[in-house]
Structure formats: structure tokens, C-alpha cells
Structure 1
Amino acid sequence: MKTVRIIGVPEHFNLPWHMAIEEGAFEERGIDLQWTDIPEGTGRMCQMLADEETDLAIILTEGLIKSISEGNKSKIIQEYIASPLLWGIHVAADSHFKTISELANAKAAISRFGSGSHLMAYVNAQNEGWNTENLQFEIINNLEGAKKGLANGDADYFMWEHFTTKPIVDAGLFRRLGDCPTPWPCFVIAATTNFIEKNDSVLKHILEVINDYTTEFKQIPSIDRTLSNRYEQQLEDIKKWLSITKWSQNQINLNTYEKVIDTLLELNLINERLPHHKALH
């Protein structure tokens, strides 16, 4: 049995992995796939890949590409979610901010630098026509930290996946001012170059299993109810999320990759153009 370490956020996107693990699909191929939830998100996962504390990660496209450009010895082995991620823009329920435009000089809560919440604050600022040099940040680590940070006034707004934060909005802790979708497919499967070089056949088996699961995922009877119960989401929210989410079984295409690179360069988040062969397996 080959032990493989994999990490990802504790969100509904990753249910196909958990189902495959729980149903023994990887064990049938001689693989002990050990999953660890990382609530801090992409910034933390990039660090874990760089430090080889994991072999694989389900990670945000833009965060990983930025990290690889900074020397992280990892590669994208496949696109995972082909649709954009819908980032909700949240303030504390009692905040005086009423519109996104009012946040131009406000402080953003982020899980850590290099995370999706950090990079998407730049994308949102660009969309709004703000000067990105004026952006201010407060590190809050995770969703629990964001609740405290906004309530205490340590930060003014927080960007996180729309449906994951919806229960917090429904509970009256956050107020959502709007959404900012990623301009590209949001999640990829990443592996360290060390793992790729030594485990080619293992990697093929892992991709075959997860691609079988994601191909059929939406057709599973009552999958919406399963997701709703497991992730404590309203059924109507899950149905909406399922309708806009598309899983991928292919490598990320070069046009998408170049769009991410162009945006990161334009926002001064990377220093030079990273050739695709350094980032894509």
C-alpha cells in the first residue's frame, strides 16, 4: 500500500475526494490516500507544498501559480474545478459600509499573504478601478478569525467563497455587499515535483479515480441533500451552487494559464512571466 498525503479546504468542492476515500476507491488501487483539511486555505497549502509536508493539494489556481513563480517546487497536474469561484465580499453586520465602492481605502481581512483572499482583493480592486497600492491587509488565518476580526474592527471587509460564508450571513454575523468571481477556473490539483518524479503511475491511478467520481458526481441520487447535511448548508443554496459548478477532468489550458499570469503581472503580484512548462505537468 502506497501512502499519499493530500490537503484541501474543508468545503463542499472536495466531497468527491472524501467519497472516493470512504468507499475505498483508492485502496483498491493500492493507495492509502490520507486527507487533511486546511481551513487556512491556499496560502498555508502553498507553504506545505513548498516544505513537502504534503504530496498533493487541491488549491486555488492563482495562489499556486504565484507560489511556483516564487520558487515553490510544485506543479499543476490537472484542473479540478473548471468554473470560477464566487467570492463573497463581506462586512460585519453592523458595519457602516453599504456598498463595495465605499471599501476603496478600507482594510481587508486575509487568511495569509498569497492566499485567495489576498489575491482576490487585488482582482476586486482592479475591477472597481481602485489604486491597488492603497490596499491594506489584516491577517486573520481562517473563517473563525474573520468573524472575530470583523466584529472587533481589526479589518473592514473579508472575501471568501460565497456559499461557505452564506450560513454566517444567514446567522446575522456578516453582511454581503456583493460578489467577485475569479476570471478563471478556480481549483487545480497540485503535486510537488519530487512526488511527480517518483510516482508517475500512482499519480495516474489517483487521477483516474477522482475523475471517475467527478464525472458522475452531479448524477448521484440526492447528492444535493448529502452536501446540504454534511456541510450544514441550506438545500436551495447547494442547488444553486451545483448549478454553477463544473468539475474538470483535463489539464488547465494554456489560454487560461496565460490569463492568470497576465493578471498577476498587471497587479504586480509576480515579478516575471513564468513559462508554462515550469508550472504545468
Structure 2
Amino acid sequence: MSESDFYTFFTGGLGLLVAAALMIAWQLWRLRNDERDGALSALEGVSHELRINLQRMVTEVAQIAANHEAGPDALLPIRHPQLDGVNSTMIRANRNAIAVVGATYQELEARKMGLRATLAQGRDPAASLDDAMEAVINGIATLYMWEVHDGARPADAGTVRSWHVRDWMKGHGFSQDALPGMYLRDEVVERLRVYGLHLTPQPLTHTAHEYYNMQYDRTADIHGPLGRRKPAKAAEADEIEDEDVDEPAVANGGPVAAEADLH
């Protein structure tokens, strides 16, 4: 083999090696992108799944509240295959938030089972309905934190306007009067505030009359900036009068001399 043939063979082999390396890198990049897209799709599926289950439970609770004669068949079982799939795979996600979603499903299932048992026994479902509505409120709050704040803790989500939460619920079909006897959006906002989410504006705790009555009278406080203090000239005049009153007593020998004269 001549030297030129050797260099030709070496150059061709090196080119094939570079092409193979680029092909492998491209395939790995595609696999990584596919895995990332699959993970995002799975997490979106968890959100969609929870939203559908909550909307269905809201409808079922409203129907039972309107008709206490409904049977336990009105409550369908809760299924969450998307969440089960995420838990069974090594998807990079906020596992704490996924655990909260799982706990929310457990609460929803428990309340549904209790309500189903109450209806099957023919007892008054008022207490069970209240528990189910509380579970729905907690579930909507969990869904909001999962979708909007990526499952962060409420205390770590920063400041949020309350109207943003209401608009989010409106966009997801959670109407204000979806549950009987309460304003659903207001209840969810208050529940998020209880959980530690900093919502603005803060709720009013006093009327204007009560608030201003709580303020002290600044003009009556002698230590305050607007205290009712005597003018400087009046204070000096009072001091001069006090000195004039004390001078005769000193000139006559003071109190000791007065006592001696009496004796």
C-alpha cells in the first residue's frame, strides 16, 4: 500500500467514525427529547385527570344535594391511571407535589365511600355532603397549586392576586354556585390563604368606623408629636411665678425661722 493510499484510507475511516459519532449523538438527543416530552405529557395528564375527577365529583355532590333520594349508584368510583403511571416510572418531577395529589385522591375516595354508605343505609346525607364538599375544596386548591405553581408549597409561591385564582377557576369551569350553600370560588381562595398562600388584597377585618376608633387621640397624648403641650412662653411664665413665690419664704428665714417665731 502506497503512502497516498494509506492517507486516503485513514481519512475515509476517520470520516466514517465522525459520522457514526454524530449519528449516535443525534439519536441520543432524540431519545432525550422524547423522554422529556413524554414526562411533560404525563404530568399534564395528571393535572387533566384530577380536574376531570373534581368536576365530576362537584356534579355528583350537587345532584345528591338537590335530590336526597338518590342512591349510591350516583357516585362513580375514582380512577387515576395517569398518576399511577407517574408513580411507577422514574419521571423527574416534584415528588412532594405528587404525594399531595395522591393524598387528595385518598381524601376524595374516602369521602365518596362515606357518602355512598350513607345513601345505601338511607340516613340523612347532610354531614357526609359537607365532608365531600370540603374534600372538593381541598382538591381544587391542590389542583391550582399543581397547575399554576408546579406543585410548590403555598408559602413558597410568593404573592398572588386573589382575582387570578378566581379567573383560573372560571377558566376551568368551576362556577361560583357549583356547590349548594356556599360560594365555591370564595371558599377555595380562603382555603389557599389558610394553607399559607399570600393572597392580596387581604380581607377586611374591621369596618372604617371600628378601625378609626381603634386609633388613639394623638392630641391628647402629651408624649406624642401633637400632644397638648403648653407653649414655650407660657411655660417660662409659670416658672418665673414659682420662683417669685419661693423668694419671700427664703428672705424670712424659711420654714425653720417661721417655726422659731411661733415658739
Coarse TM-score class (shorter-chain normalised): under 0.3
The structure in which a higher percent of residues are strand is: 1
TM-score by length of structure 1 reads 0.25
TM-score by length of structure 2 reads 0.27
The structure in which a higher percent of residues are helix is: 2
